[in-house]
Amino acid sequence: MTSKSDIPKIFTAEYYDEKYFADKVGKHYRKADGTIDHWGYFNSSGELLACQPIVEVWKKMFAPKTMLDIGAGRGVFVAYARDVGIEAVGFDFSEWAVNEGRYSRCKKEWLQVHDVTKPWPYPDKSFDLVIALDLLEHIYLDDLPFALSELYRVAKKWVFLQIAISGSGGLQGRTDEGYILKKGEPVPIQLESCAVAGHVLVQPASFWYEWLNHENWIPRRDMVNWFVSLIHSDNIKNWLLNMMIVLEKI
């Protein structure tokens, strides 16, 4: 095993490579005692069977004709959304995920390489439903205002977010306060086990409700409760530990 940590000072697109998504070893990081451990998704195919029931519930709840997956990774949710008749596309800034590592049933034209911190290549109000799953915690605080402004710009009616928040253990941060990493600053050794997934902005739910406050959008907690009631908990185990938010355009 390597004795060197893979944790960078800045989490760029290159960090999200085959080691991150697919291989059997993953990314190396330092534990608090200085020893080296490893983490990754260890998913060679990109398959995620829970996608099918999830997108079926989205179709029932939101009846979207179009959908955008922000930070779509290898495009598995895009492919499953297409299965149920939703015209879905997505983007991710990992070239490996979009190209070499793309999920086999996700067509090339459905997924593109793009950086969430750059202007999104879509007109205003392009999508009935915009989803961002395990994405916002990967965005540096300095870039968050722009990313959220683009999200609201391209969404027509509904937004579904799933965000890793502080206090839930594991990669989500082990304290209620969470943490904020800054570009270019070394990751403290005590946070490497949390940051190895690329999580640079891990905060409590209250932080996200404040940041997502918008005069033209309202949080629909009742819709989150409905979503949870419609799907078996085994399909969203991690989501139940984190935070789900449904936003509606008013």
Counting residues of the chain whose pLDDT is more than 70, the rounded percentage is: 96
Q: pLDDT for 46-57, tens place per residue?
A: 999 999 999 999
- Residue 117, burial from CB neighbour count under 10 angstroms (0-12, 13-18, 19+): middle
| Beta-bridge mates of residue 244 | 162
Q: Please, what's the b/e burial string for 200-237 (b: 16 or more CB within 10 A of its CB; e: otherwise)? A: bbbbbeebbeeebebeebebbeebbeebeeebeeebbe
Q: Is the Cβ–Cβ distance between 108 and 62 less than 8 Å?
A: no
Residue 167 Ramachandran class (φ > 0 left, ψ -120 to 50 alpha, else beta): left
pLDDT band at 169 (very low <50, low <70, confident <90, very high): low
pLDDT value of residue 167: 82
Whole-number average pLDDT of the chain: 95
State residue 213's pLDDT score: 95
CA distance 198 to 10: 9
- Do 77 and 110 form a contact (C-beta atoms < 8 A)? no
Predicted structure pTM score: 0.96
Does CATH place domain 51-168+196-249 in 1.20.1250.20? no
**Residue ranges covered by each domain of the chain:** 51-168+196-249
| pLDDT tens digits, one per residue of 138-157 | 999 999 999 999 999 999 99
Query: Which of these, 77, 6, 11, lies nearest to 47 by C-alpha position?
Result: 77
Residue 172 pLDDT > 70, yes or no?
no
